[in-house]
Structure 1
């Protein structure tokens, strides 16, 4: 299992939309992005705490290919192409990677 954090920034075009329209677009796009059920998504708001990004998307995927395919679908969507959001940074992580390293590296 991999976890990838994607830092996103909203555009003025997104903010000009009515909230109901934002929800409709997001629901439609994300159902396509996550269509293969190999990737999950959690969203976090950050705009009150930083100017670097407004949102943080936390993707969890079975493997890197599943994540990659989800990101390709996201990049092809109106959320990115209109653009309603800009991708600021992508941060791949391995949960407790040091524990796996220690288990594999420390002789018994």
Structure 2
């Protein structure tokens, strides 16, 4: 079956993956600024991993003020499953995974999949 141009072609219809995560006491004990701090970890550890895998872009949302389910939500836009898998494998080799954050839930989703499947306009679309 030829899927080029279909809703399953990640190059034209990215997969969105939501990670509901929680900070750990170990993360919160790090100072926000300075060497060895939270932002330094992001710049020296996370940014290089993300740069290696452009087919898996990440946006970060703070949610701790609004829910007890998670403190943060990472939203991945995936156009290459190998890149997403690479990010996951590389993150697991750092203190991000389980030391600084716990991954509470991973929710993959396809935007407006129902509309694509039925070849109709998406609800709420102008």
TM-score, L = length of structure 1: 0.87
Select the structure that is richer in strand: 1
Gaps of 5+ in 1: none
Name the structure 1 match of 2:44. Answer: 28
Q: Could you say which structure has the greater relative contact order, defined with CA pairs below 8 angstroms and 6 or more residues apart?
A: 1
Runs (5+) with no aligned partner, structure 2: 1-13, 121-126
> Which of residues 72, 78, 85 in structure 1 aligns to 2:101?
85
Q: Give the deviation of 1:77 after TM superposition.
A: 1.4
Which runs of at least 4 in structure 1 moved beyond 4 Å after TM superposition? none
Contact 1:33–1:71 (8 Å) recurs in 2: no
How large is the Cα RMSD of the aligned pairs? 1.5
- TM-score normalised by structure 2 residue count: 0.75
Rg comparison, structure with higher value: 2
